[in-house]
Chains A and B, each alone.
Chain A
Amino acid sequence: MIDRPLSFLDRPNSYIGRSVPRPNAQRLLQGRGTFVDDIRLPRLVHAAFLRSPYAHARIRSIATAEAARQPGVVRVVTATDLAGRYTPWVGVLTHMKGLKSAPQHPLAVERACWQGEPVAAVVAESRAAAEDAVAQIAVDWEELPAVADAEAALAPGAPAIQPALGDNLAFTRSIEAGTVDDAFARADAIVEDIFTFARHTGVCLETRSILADFNPADRQLTVHHSSQAPHMMKEIVLRHFPLAETGVRVICRDVGGSYGIKIHVYPDEMAVIALSLLLGRPVKFVADRLESFVSDIHAREHRVSARMAVSRSGEILAVAIDDLTGIGPYSTYPRTSAVEGNQVINLTGSWYRCANYRARLRVAFQTKPPMSQYRAVGHPIACAVTEALVDRAAQAVGLDPAELRRRNLIADDAYPWTSPAGLRFERLSHQRCLARMLELMDYAGLRREQAALRAKGIHRGIGLASFVEITNPGPAFYGVGGAPISAQDGCTLRLDPGGSITVAISVTEQGQGTETMVAQIAASVLGVSLERVRVVTGDTERTPYGGGTWASRGTGIGGEAALQAAKALRANILTLAGAILQAAPAVLDISDGWIVDAASGARRIGLDEVGRAGYFRGDTLPPDVQPELVATRHYQPREYPFAFTNGVQASWLELDVETGFVTLLKHWVVEDCGTVVNPLLVDEQIRGGVVQGLGAALFEECAYDAHGQLLNGTLADYLVPMAGEMPDIAVAHLATPTATSELGAKGVGEAGTAGAPAAVMNAINDALSPFGARVTAQPATPQRILRALGRV
C-alpha cells in the first residue's frame, strides 16, 4: 500500500526501487579507472616524508644537506622552510562548548607529538628517489615523556601535551535527564560493566593520495585528491593558503575507499599543497601502507563505564554511562575529534523508552595519532554498550533478550519522539524491525538448535542489537560551529541536443553508487532511459556547490536535490515542447525519451527534436520563446537536525572454548532507511558496513605500547576481515520514508557498522554464558576470550 500521494517516484518505468547495476563500475572492472596515483602530469615530482619515530620528542635540529645532495632530489623542506606560506589550523567548532586544541602545521614545529607525525619532506623526481633521500635526513631528537594512555593523560600532574592549553582535557560534556538516582534506587536489578574499545583505522585499500598542481602563470592551483568532499577541501585551501577563490579547483576522480578517513585535513597533504606552491609544479604524494597506519586518523578508543537499572517486569528504568576517549595530540580539523564521543553520549540508549539518562564524556589528548570521524561515528560504541546492558538486564530478571527489547523499544506509533539527550526522531520502526528479524532468522528455531548443540559441547551464541543511525545532517551539525562544511547540495541537469541528460551534482562517489542513484532519479523524473543519463561528480569547477558524501547524506540530500532539479528541467522541457507543438505544457508528458500526450500516451516528438529545436533551430520557435534546457536546484534538510534511521542486527556464531576462536556462521540485518532508490546498492552498503563492524568486533586494533609506539603497523600484523572469516549476510528492509523530503530517502551508509559489533559481542557472551564468563573489550580476540574463560 502506498501511504502517500502518487508522485514523480511512481511514474511508469520509474527506476526508483529498481536494482540496476552501476554504469560507472565498468571502467573499474576493466582496470580503466583513474585514481590519483594514475595521474601523470608534465614536470611531476613526488613527495616523501620523514616521520617522527617517537611518540613525543623535541626537535633540536634537522640536517638536510646530505639529503638534498641525493640524485633526483628537487627540494628538502622542514617546518622552517614552509613558515609564512600557510596559516595553521585549529580543530575546534564554536558550538562544541569548551573544546580546545592547538594550532597544527604541515610539518612538526620544534616538537613531534605522535609517532608518524610528518617532520620533513623531500621532493624528488620519483618516489623511490624521495624515499632514499629521506633516509639521509638527520634529526637531533630529544625524547619527551609519552602520554599514551587516555586515563593517565587526565591524571593529576600529567604533563600537558599542548602546554598552552594547560591540561589534556580537550572536551567534556554531561547529560542529565529524568530522575536517574531515584530510578537506580527503586530498581529490582542493576547491571554494570566497563567496556573498552580499541583504536582501529579505516585501512582504505587506496591509501591517502593527493596531487597538487600549482600553475604560477595564472596562479591556479588544481588539486587531484582522494577525498569525499572536494568543495570543503577547496574552502580549506582558501583559508590556509594565499590563493583567490577563483584560483583553486579540487577534483576527485575514482576514490579507492574512504569511509570517513579521507574527509579530514592531514598535515602531509597540506605540505604537498605548500610544496606545489613553492615549486610551481605538480607534486604527488601517495601514502604507503606503513605510513597510513601511523598517519591516517584512527577511530574509537573508548573506555565506557555503564550501568542500567531494570524492574522485575523487564522495564529499563535508567541508564548511566561515563565515556573516556583518547584523541591524540590535536583535535582533527575541521570536523574535530569531539564528535565521536559526543555521539556516544547522545545516542546511548536512545532507541528505548527509558527517560532517565545520565552521561559524561571526557575527551583526552594523548601522544598517539589523531582520532576522528570514521564510518558510523560513535554509533558502534553507543550500540555495543546499550545492547550489552540490555542482554545483561534480561539475564538479571530472567527474560529472553528479544522479549526485553520488545518491552522497551519505542513503540512504532509513538512518534515524533524526543530522546533523553534531545534527539528528535521523526518516525521509526523498531518494533516492526525486531518482529521481522525474529522471523527472518527463525529466532525460536535457532534457540532450540543452540540448546541441542550445547548439550553436545558445541557452544554457539545468538546476539541481537537494535540501533539508530544519524543520517542527512542539517546545517546545525558543522556549519553553525564555523566549519566550511556545507549541509546543502546542488544538482544541475541539462538536456543535450541529442536528447541525453547531463547531470552535475555536488555529492560524490567512492563506489557506493552515488552516480547511479542520481541517474535513477533523473531518469525517472525526466522519462528517459538510464543509458541516456550521464552524471558528473567530484569537481569543484564542474558541479554545483555542496557538502559531498559523508554522514550517510548522499541519497537523502543529494538525491532530493536531483529530484527537484529534474522536476524543474522537466517543466522547462515541456514548456519548450508546448511551444513547438502549440500545446499547453500541462497536457504533455515525457516518456521513454518522447514528448507524449499525457492523457493517451501517444508519441508526439522525440526529446532529441526538442533539444535540437532549442539549441540549433531557434528560428522555428515563436519569437517570445527563450529555451531554458538547464535547471539547478539545491536542498538541505531544515525541519529536523538529522533524519534518523533504525534497524536491528543479529549474529549467530560458534565459539571454540579451547582456543577462543570465533567462527561467524551467519549475520542478519533488518533496516529501515525510508525510500530505497536501488535495493542492490543499499544492501551492499549494509553488508560492507557490517563487515567493517565485524572487523572492529573481532580483529582490528592499533596496538600501542606504553611509549606510544605502534606494535602492528603492517597489513600482515593488523588483521582486517578477509573473505574466509566472513559470513553470508542476510538483509531485509522496512520502508518508513521521511516526510521532510519528496524523495523520502534516509541514509544507509553507516547502519551496518553501527550495529554489527554489538550483535557479535552479545553473541559471544551468549555462547560464553554457560561458563559464567563474558568479554567487554573489543576486539574480542581469542586471547581476551580465553582470559574471560580463565584459561590463560
Chain B
Amino acid sequence: MSEAVDIRLTVNGEAVARRVPARQNLIDFLREELGFTGTRAGCEHGVCGACTLRIDGAAVRACLIFAAQLDGARVETIEGLSQSGEIADLQAAFHARNALQCGFCTAGILVAAAELLRDTPRPSRAEIRDHLSGNYCRCTGYHAIVDAVEAVALQRGAAGGAR
C-alpha cells in the first residue's frame, strides 16, 4: 500500500513527472496532485461516468485506473479539451440548449459525446442515448443532452463532413 511508482506522462499537453502511491487512482492523482478539478468523482466504481476523460485518445473512467499505470500515457481532461477548442461546438450547443444543470456530470458527458461523434458522425437519437448510457445525469432527464449532441452532429455534417 505504501509503495510508490515513478511515472512520466503528458496531461493536457504538458509533461508531468511524479512519484505516486501505487494505490492512487487517476481521478485522485489529477485532482489532488495536479489540481485538475474539472474531472469529478461520482461513484468511484465506474458506473456513473462523471470522471470520464481521455487517455491516448480513448474515453476512460478515471476512477478505474491507477495513476501508476499511466507511465508514457497522454491524458486529456476537460480543462485541456476546453483550452484546445476541440469540443467548443459541443460546449456551445450544450450551453444554448441548457443541456446541463448542476454541471457535475458535464465533463464526462462531453468526453463521451465527442467520442461518439468521432466514431459515428451522424448518430440517430437512439444511438446518442445508447452511447451516453454510461453517463448518469440526475438533473436534465437527458432529453436536452440528446438534442445538443444531435445539433452538433447536424452542424458538423452541414460544415462539410470534414471530420
Instruction: Across the interface, name the chain B residue whose C-beta is closest to A730.
Output: B143
Chain A 249-273, CB-CB to B under 8 Å as 1, else 0, gives: 0000011111100000000000000
Which residue of B50, B135, B143 contacts A729 across the interface (Cβ within 8 Å)? Answer: B143
Q: Contacts A205-B104, A714-B47 given: A728-B143 contact, CB under 8 Å?
A: yes
Q: Contacts A25-B95, A256-B40 given: A692-B138 contact, CB under 8 Å?
A: yes
Enumerate chain A residues within 8 angstroms of B56, measured Cβ to Cβ: none
- For the complex with contacts A25-B94, A715-B136, 13 further pairs of A-B residues with Cβ separation under 8 Å are A29-B91, A30-B38, A30-B91, A37-B41, A206-B102, A254-B103, A255-B102, A289-B44, A510-B101, A684-B140, A721-B141, A723-B132, A725-B133
Report how many A-B pairs have Cβ atoms within 8 Å.
180
Interface hits, B20-53 → A, CB 8 Å: 21, 23-24, 28, 31-32, 36-45, 47-48, 50
Q: Contacts A32-B38, A33-B103, A688-B139 given: A715-B45 contact, CB under 8 Å?
A: yes
Instruction: Across the interface, name the chain B residue whose C-beta is closest to A695.
Output: B138
Chain B 93-115, CB-CB to A under 8 Å as 1, else 0, gives: 01111101111111100100000
Q: Contacts A30-B79, A289-B43 given: A691-B142 contact, CB under 8 Å?
A: yes
Enumerate chain A residues within 8 angstroms of B105, measured Cβ to Cβ: 205
Enumerate chain A residues within 8 angstroms of B91, measured Cβ to Cβ: 29-30
> Are A22 and B79 interface neighbours, CB within 8 A?
no
Q: List 30 A-B contacts (CB under 8 A).
A: A22-B95, A29-B91, A29-B103, A30-B38, A30-B91, A31-B37, A31-B82, A32-B38, A32-B82, A35-B37, A35-B40, A203-B136, A205-B48, A206-B42, A206-B102, A256-B103, A289-B42, A289-B43, A289-B44, A289-B48, A511-B102, A684-B144, A688-B101, A692-B138, A723-B130, A723-B135, A725-B133, A726-B129, A726-B141, A752-B141
A38 contacts B by Cβ under 8 Å: yes
Q: Contacts A254-B102, A723-B129, A729-B141 given: A30-B78 contact, CB under 8 Å?
A: yes
B145 contacts A by Cβ under 8 Å: yes
Q: Contacts A257-B104, A511-B103, A688-B139 given: A723-B47 contact, CB under 8 Å?
A: no
CA gap between A513 and B140 in the complex, in Å:
12
> Are A206 and B40 interface neighbours, CB within 8 A?
yes
Main secondary structure of the interface of A (DSSP, over half): loop
> Are A25 and B98 interface neighbours, CB within 8 A?
yes
A680 contacts B by Cβ under 8 Å: yes
Q: Contacts A511-B139, A688-B139 given: A714-B106 contact, CB under 8 Å?
A: no
B146 contacts A by Cβ under 8 Å: yes
Enumerate chain B residues within 8 angstroms of A32, measured Cβ to Cβ: 38, 79, 82
> Are B144 and A687 interface neighbours, CB within 8 A?
yes
Residues of B in contact with A (beta carbons under 8 Å apart) = 1, 21, 23-24, 28, 31-32, 36-45, 47-48, 50, 77-79, 82, 91, 94-98, 100-107, 110, 125, 128-130, 132-146
A690 contacts B by Cβ under 8 Å: yes
Chain A 741-785, CB-CB to B under 8 Å as 1, else 0, gives: 000000000001000000000000000000000000000000000
> Are A256 and B98 interface neighbours, CB within 8 A?
no
> Are A35 and B104 interface neighbours, CB within 8 A?
yes
Q: How far is the CB of A203 from chain B (nearest CB, A)?
A: 6
Interface hits, A470-527 → B, CB 8 Å: 510-513
Enumerate chain B residues within 8 angstroms of A31, measured Cβ to Cβ: 36-39, 77-79, 82, 107
CA gap between A791 and B77 in the complex, in Å:
49
Instruction: Across the interface, name the chain A residue whose C-beta is closest to B135.
Output: A723
Interface centre among B21, B32, B98, B142 (most CB of A within 10 A): B98
Which residue of A34, A38, A205 contacts B50 across the interface (Cβ within 8 Å)? Answer: A205
> Are B96 and A21 interface neighbours, CB within 8 A?
yes
Enumerate chain B residues within 8 angstroms of A513, measured Cβ to Cβ: 98, 101
Enumerate chain A residues within 8 angstroms of B128, measured Cβ to Cβ: 723
> Are A22 and B110 interface neighbours, CB within 8 A?
no
Enumerate chain B residues within 8 angstroms of A721, measured Cβ to Cβ: 141-142
Which residue of B48, B101, B136 contacts A511 across the interface (Cβ within 8 Å)? Answer: B101
> Are B139 and A25 interface neighbours, CB within 8 A?
no
> Are A715 and B140 interface neighbours, CB within 8 A?
no
Chain A 673-700, CB-CB to B under 8 Å as 1, else 0, gives: 0000000110010011111100000000
Q: Contacts A21-B95, A714-B45 given: A29-B141 contact, CB under 8 Å?
A: no
Which residue of B21, B36, B133 contacts A724 across the interface (Cβ within 8 Å)? Answer: B133
> Are A30 and B82 interface neighbours, CB within 8 A?
yes
Instruction: Across the interface, name the chain B residue whose C-beta is closest to A33.
Output: B103
Which residue of A254, A510, A688, A714 contacts B141 across the interface (Cβ within 8 Å)? Answer: A688
CA gap between A38 and B34 in the complex, in Å:
12
Enumerate chain B residues within 8 angstroms of A255, measured Cβ to Cβ: 102
Which residue of A28, A259, A684, A715 contacts B103 across the interface (Cβ within 8 Å)? Answer: A28
Which residue of B21, B48, B77, B103 contacts A25 across the interface (Cβ within 8 Å)? Answer: B103
> Are B110 and A29 interface neighbours, CB within 8 A?
yes
Q: How far is the CB of A288 from chain B (nearest CB, A)?
A: 6
Interface centre among B24, B129, B135 (most CB of A within 10 A): B129
CA gap between A128 and B141 in the complex, in Å:
34
CA gap between A718 and B71 in the complex, in Å:
35
CA gap between A32 and B38 in the complex, in Å:
6
A722 contacts B by Cβ under 8 Å: yes
By the criterion of a CB under 8 Å from any partner CB, how many residues of chain A are at the interface?
Answer: 58
CA gap between A202 and B50 in the complex, in Å:
16
A720 contacts B by Cβ under 8 Å: yes
CA gap between A418 and B96 in the complex, in Å:
42
A217 contacts B by Cβ under 8 Å: no
A155 contacts B by Cβ under 8 Å: no
Q: Lowest 4 CB-CB distances: which A-B pairs, in order? A: A31-B38, A28-B103, A511-B101, A31-B78
Q: How far is the CB of A714 from chain B (nearest CB, A)?
A: 7
> Are B104 and A256 interface neighbours, CB within 8 A?
yes
Interface hits, A717-740 → B, CB 8 Å: 720-726, 728-729
Q: How far is the CB of B13 from chain A (nearest CB, A)?
A: 15
> Are A723 and B133 interface neighbours, CB within 8 A?
yes
Interface centre among A34, A254, A511, A512 (most CB of B within 10 A): A511
> Are B94 and A29 interface neighbours, CB within 8 A?
yes
Interface centre among B31, B134, B141 (most CB of A within 10 A): B141
> Are B40 and A511 interface neighbours, CB within 8 A?
no
> Are A722 and B37 interface neighbours, CB within 8 A?
no
> Are B138 and A205 interface neighbours, CB within 8 A?
yes
Enumerate chain B residues within 8 angstroms of A204, measured Cβ to Cβ: 102, 104, 138
Enumerate chain A residues within 8 angstroms of B103, measured Cβ to Cβ: 25, 27-29, 33, 254, 256, 511
Enumerate chain B residues within 8 angstroms of A203, measured Cβ to Cβ: 136, 138
Enumerate chain A residues within 8 angstroms of B101, measured Cβ to Cβ: 257, 510-513, 684, 688
A716 contacts B by Cβ under 8 Å: yes
CA gap between A366 and B82 in the complex, in Å:
49
Interface hits, A62-90 → B, CB 8 Å: none
CA gap between A74 and B77 in the complex, in Å:
33
> Are A28 and B44 interface neighbours, CB within 8 A?
no
A659 contacts B by Cβ under 8 Å: no
> Are A29 and B98 interface neighbours, CB within 8 A?
no
CA gap between A75 and B129 in the complex, in Å:
47
CA gap between A714 and B63 in the complex, in Å:
15
> Are B78 and A720 interface neighbours, CB within 8 A?
no
Q: How far is the CB of B68 from chain A (nearest CB, A)?
A: 14
> Are A288 and B44 interface neighbours, CB within 8 A?
yes
> Are A257 and B102 interface neighbours, CB within 8 A?
yes
Interface hits, A20-60 → B, CB 8 Å: 21-22, 25-35, 37-38
Q: How far is the CB of A667 from chain B (nearest CB, A)?
A: 9
> Are A681 and B43 interface neighbours, CB within 8 A?
no
CA gap between A511 and B134 in the complex, in Å:
21
Enumerate chain B residues within 8 angstroms of A512, measured Cβ to Cβ: 101
Enumerate chain B residues within 8 angstroms of A35, measured Cβ to Cβ: 37, 40, 104
Enumerate chain A residues within 8 angstroms of B100, measured Cβ to Cβ: 25, 28-29, 511
> Are B133 and A206 interface neighbours, CB within 8 A?
no
Enumerate chain B residues within 8 angstroms of A33, measured Cβ to Cβ: 38, 103
Interface centre among B36, B110, B136 (most CB of A within 10 A): B136
Q: Contacts A723-B132, A723-B135 given: A205-B42 contact, CB under 8 Å?
A: yes
CA gap between A688 and B99 in the complex, in Å:
11
Instruction: Across the interface, name the chain A residue whose C-beta is closest to B25.
Output: A128
Enumerate chain B residues within 8 angstroms of A725, measured Cβ to Cβ: 133
